[in-house]
Each structure stands twice: as C-alpha cells, then as structure tokens.
Amino acid sequence: MVSTIFISVGVLFNLFGCIGLIRLPDVYNRLQSATKCVTLGTCSILVGVAFHFGLIDAGVKALIAIPLLFFSATVAAHALVRGAYHAGIKMGDKSVKDDYKDAVK
Amino acid sequence: MRYLALFILSFVFWMLLTFDLSVANLVAGGAAALVTSLLFTKYFFHKVVKFIQPVRYFWFLVYLVIFTWECIKANFDVAYRVLHPAMPIKPGIVKVKLELKSDFARAMLANSITMTPGTISVDIIDDVLYVHWIYVSSEDPEIYSRKIAGKFEKYIKKIFE
C-alpha cells in the first residue's frame, strides 16, 4: 500500500517534469524542471520499490541507486547549463538578470 | 590513510550494490575497490580523520532531513510554475558569495542548490557561485544569497569543514 502511494507520486512528478520540459521557454528553465521533478519523481519510485521488497537485495539496491541518481542528475544539470551558456545559447525573453555575462568575458 | 579510507568506502558500496557474500564476489569487489582507490584518491578528502568524528554524522542526518524537505518543496514549486496557465517565471542568473573554502564542501553546496526551489548552479569563479534562478524575487545580493545558500551553508560547514 505504502509502496503504491510512493510509486504513484513518483510517476505524477515525472509527468510534471515532462510537461515542464515542453512548456517552459528556454534551455535553462527546461533543465530546472527536468532535474528537479524528474529526480525526485524517480527517487520516489525507488523508495516505493524499496518498501515493496523490504530490506532484501532488490530493496537495498533501490536505496543505493538514490544517491547515484542524485549526484549524476545534479552534475549533469550543471554541465548542461554551463555548456549551453558557453555555446552562446541566449536566455529567454522573460529573463530579468544576467550576472554571469560579465564573468565569462 | 586516504587510500585505505577510499578503499573501504568503495568496497562497502560494492557489497551493498551486489548484495552477495560469495568468495568470487568479495575478490571482484576488492579488485574494483583497489583500482578505484588507486585512481581517485587524489580527488578525495585531505583529512580522513573527519570520518571518525561522530558529531559530523549527526549534522549529516540533520542536513538530510532539511534537505529532503527543501527538495519536496522545490518539486511543488516547479510543478506549480509548470502547470499554471500564465507560467509565473522570471528567470535570471545571480551571484552568490561563498563562505565555504574546501572543494568538497563547495561541490556539495552546489549540488544542494541545484536540487532546491528553482535554482541551478552554473559555475564557480573565484569565490562566487553563479546560480540560474527561475524566479528572481529580489534585487538585493544579501537577501538572495541568504535565500539560496544560507540554509545549507551552515550545516555543510559543520559536516565537512
């Protein structure tokens, strides 16, 4: 029962992340939704799997996957944002502030 | 000492990941951990003494609870912005002054910032962290530095420094 709730919440957040990926205006904002919603959604699914199996091998592996996913998602987001900026991709029209521009030059 | 610490860490990680106590697996894990520790120790902590100070683990647990809470808040925040018909976003890149000195603590802070409401860390140049923020709510560097990094900085300082 608990596992069903966790997995449902996870799937829901993954869906929100994907909607954000389509709706938001530029690459930077899209990465926001792609990293946050999708990482927590997937972590929630993994916690659900751990509850379902208990502390046997499948459950423990699911829990171990959480820090791996966490670190790879954050590092990938950082690398993509930085790479996109250095490749000269402009920020969307709604942007209000850009302190990084002066630092790069 | 540093080699040994990383060896033990990677070996425990291998054992948890494979979850199998047969001799063949122990040997394979030992070999993998040995290669890992030989290759990557130069990127590891400089003072491994920190591993046997219990107070750091206590602060790590406190940090974990706060972090999880922030993470959940972040998700509802982004979900709200994504689903709202008018999309209330006001993105921008802001500067945050760093008080942490060691590389590992900084990396940890940057990771935490990436996972919290509407922010992704872009780059660190000298002592300044550049953060992409989905909703720039204030113009004052003091206020937004505290808003973005303040919550985690003090705990990470207690854990790693």
Q: How deeply is A88 buried, as exposed, middle or buried, from its count of CB atoms within 10 A (0-12, 13-18, 19+)?
A: exposed
Q: Does B65 touch chain A (CB under 8 A)?
A: no
Are B78 and B135 contacting, i.e. CB atoms less than 8 angstroms apart? no
DSSP label of A24: S
Q: Is B132 helix (H, G, I), strand (E, B) or coil?
A: strand
Are A49 and A9 contacting, i.e. CB atoms less than 8 angstroms apart? no
Element (H, E) at B30: helix B23-40
pLDDT in tens, chain B (161 residues): 788 888 888 898 888 888 878 889 899 989 999 998 888 888 777 776 777 777 888 888 888 888 888 888 878 887 888 888 877 777 888 888 888 777 778 888 888 888 876 788 888 887 788 888 877 777 777 777 777 777 778 888 888 77
Element (H, E) at B92: strand B92-97
Length of chain A: 105
Query: Quick check: A105 pLDDT over 70?
Result: no
Query: Quick check: A98 pLDDT over 80?
Result: no
pLDDT digits (tens, 9 = 90+) for A71-90: 888 888 888 888 888 888 77
Element (H, E) at B156: helix B151-160
Q: Is B124 helix (H, G, I), strand (E, B) or coil?
A: strand
Q: Which of B75, B83, B90 sits opposite A19 (nearest CB)?
A: B83
pLDDT digits (tens, 9 = 90+) for B114-131: 887 678 888 888 778 888
* Domain residue spans of chain B: 2-48, 53-160
pLDDT digits (tens, 9 = 90+) for A18-38: 888 888 888 888 888 888 888
* CB contacts, 8 Å: A18 with chain B: none
**Phi-psi group of B126: left, alpha or beta (phi > 0 → left; psi -120 to 50 → alpha; rest → beta):** left
Are B129 and B85 contacting, i.e. CB atoms less than 8 angstroms apart? no
Work out the angle between the directed axes of helices B2-18 and A57-86 (0-180°, nearest 10).
120
Question: Residues 69..88 of A with a Cβ closer than 8 Å to B: which?
Answer: 70-71, 74-75, 77-78, 81-82, 85
pLDDT for the residue numbered B31: 92
Distance CA A16, CA A38 (A): 8
CA dist list (Å): B100 to B107, B111, B121: 10, 14, 15
* CB contacts, 8 Å: B91 with chain A: 26, 28-29, 91-92, 94-96
Query: Residue B74 and residue A29: Cβ atoms within 8 Å?
Result: no
* Domain residue spans of chain A: 2-90
Q: Does B115 touch chain A (CB under 8 A)?
A: yes
Distance CA B157, CA A90 (A): 35
Q: Which of B87, B94, B120 sits opposite A78 (nearest CB)?
A: B120
Q: Chain B closest CA to A82's CA: distance in Å?
A: 5
Distance CA A49, CA A66 (A): 11
pLDDT for the residue numbered B131: 83
| Cβ–Cβ pairs < 8 A, chains A and B | 119
pLDDT digits (tens, 9 = 90+) for A41-66: 888 899 999 888 888 888 888 888 88
Q: Which of A25, A36, A56 sits opposite B75 (nearest CB)?
A: A36
Contacts of B31 (CB under 8 A, 6+ apart): none
Query: Residue B82 and residue A95: Cβ atoms within 8 Å?
Result: no
Query: Residue A91 and residue B94: Cβ atoms within 8 Å?
Result: no
Q: Does A54 touch chain B (CB under 8 A)?
A: no
